[in-house]
A = this chain, B = another copy of it.
Amino acid sequence: MATAPTPVTGQAFKAGRRKPAGGGRKLAPAASAPASFSPLYAQVKRLITEDLRSGRWKPGEMIPSEAQLASQHGVSQGTVRRAIDELSIENLLVRRQGRGTFVASHLSPRSQFRFLRLRRDDQAPLLPISTILDCRRAKAPIDVARQLHLRVGDSVIFVRRLLSVDGKPAVLDELWLPASRFKGLTAERLVAYRGPLYGLFESDFGTPMIRALERVRAVQASAQAAKLLGVRAACPLLLVERLSFTYHDSPVEVRKGYCVTTDLHYLNELN
């Protein structure tokens, strides 16, 4: 079973879509079975994604070559190529010419700060220092529960931390994580860990963050936030509310970041 061909080797793919020989029968009347069939490359893509989710290939590891995947799945290399192309665009995979295709990892320098849109006004690289302020179990508040697809009162892990830039507090982060998925996450572990949180999540909890939605607004600093950030109360702060997803669009993290944007800004590219 180890490196054996995946369950389906070209049979299931072709069912309802291809006519393997030169026959003229129409096995896949698109009109009569709407929305039921998807292109081969999309099916391959889904199979690869499932292998990623199941942990068959872990972040940082190399996946089989295009040619191998093609023969395993009984499709042409071009079809596999397209599937991998899309997964690369979605940042699930990383292609490296001459070397192979690898599972994306928040631990690699390439995509370490993928989700960090904050920049210094002076363009210098942003090197935040993290201080863990709190980490405890809690009951999911209603809005968090809704976003994480939990029930109100379900157990979550709440984390509060401070990011400092140039030795000055810049961002106050509050995180909510489903306790079931992040069992064993403690303040000690967070403090001991060197590197980005998302690296810890993917390596120790098998949960790579793939995608996120952010809602940004301007708010007044609460008394508590002002104190922690070293600004006066009612100072305007950028509030970034993030909902992060792992494979198959499962929501697994709610994060609120309160940012002092006097020397920083949130950068976004539109196209």
Do A269 and B217 touch across chains, with their CB atoms under 8 A apart? no
* Interface residue count on the A side (C-beta < 8 Å): 34
Tell which of B220, B267, B270 touches A117, judged by Cβ atoms closer than 8 Å: B270
A176-212 vs B, CB cutoff 8 Å, 1 = contact: the mask equals 0000000000000000000000000000000000111
A212, B119: Cα distance in complex, Å: 17
Do B268 and A216 touch across chains, with their CB atoms under 8 A apart? yes
A97 at the interface (CB under 8 A from B): no
Given A236-B236, A237-B236: A91 in contact with B216 (beta carbons within 8 A): no
A240-266 vs B, CB cutoff 8 Å, 1 = contact: the mask equals 011000000000000000010100111
Q: Would you give the shortest CB distance from A65 to chain B, in whole angstroms?
A: 22
Do A213 and B91 touch across chains, with their CB atoms under 8 A apart? no
A113-133 vs B, CB cutoff 8 Å, 1 = contact: the mask equals 011010100000000000000
Within 8 Å CB of A47, what residues of B?
A: none
Within 8 Å CB of A218, what residues of B?
A: 218-219, 236-239, 259, 261
Q: Would you give the shortest CB distance from A218 to chain B, in whole angstroms?
A: 4
Q: Would you give the shortest CB distance from A51 to chain B, in whole angstroms?
A: 20
79-129 of chain A: CB within 8 A of chain B: 90-91, 114-115, 117, 119
A268, B271: Cα distance in complex, Å: 12
Given A218-B261, A219-B218, A261-B218: A268 in contact with B117 (beta carbons within 8 A): yes
Q: Would you give the shortest CB distance from A133 to chain B, in whole angstroms?
A: 22
Do A91 and B271 touch across chains, with their CB atoms under 8 A apart? yes
A214 at the interface (CB under 8 A from B): yes
A90, B115: Cα distance in complex, Å: 21
Question: Residue among A117, A265, A270 with the most chain B CB within 10 A?
Answer: A270
Closest residue on chain B to residue A212 by CB atoms: B270
Closest residue on chain B to residue A268 by CB atoms: B214
7 cross-chain pairs, A with B, having the tightest CB-CB distances, nearest first: A217-B261, A236-B236, A218-B218, A218-B236, A216-B266, A212-B270, A218-B238
16 pairs from A and B in contact (CB 8 Å cutoff): A91-B271, A117-B268, A119-B215, A210-B271, A211-B270, A212-B269, A213-B269, A215-B266, A215-B268, A216-B266, A216-B267, A217-B266, A218-B219, A219-B236, A234-B234, A242-B270
Which residues from chain A sit less than 8 Å from chain B, CB to CB? 90-91, 114-115, 117, 119, 210-220, 234, 236-239, 241-242, 259, 261, 264-271
* Given A119-B215, A236-B236, A241-B265, 14 further pairs, Cβ under 8 A: A90-B271, A91-B271, A211-B271, A212-B271, A213-B268, A213-B270, A216-B216, A216-B268, A217-B238, A218-B218, A218-B238, A218-B239, A220-B236, A268-B268
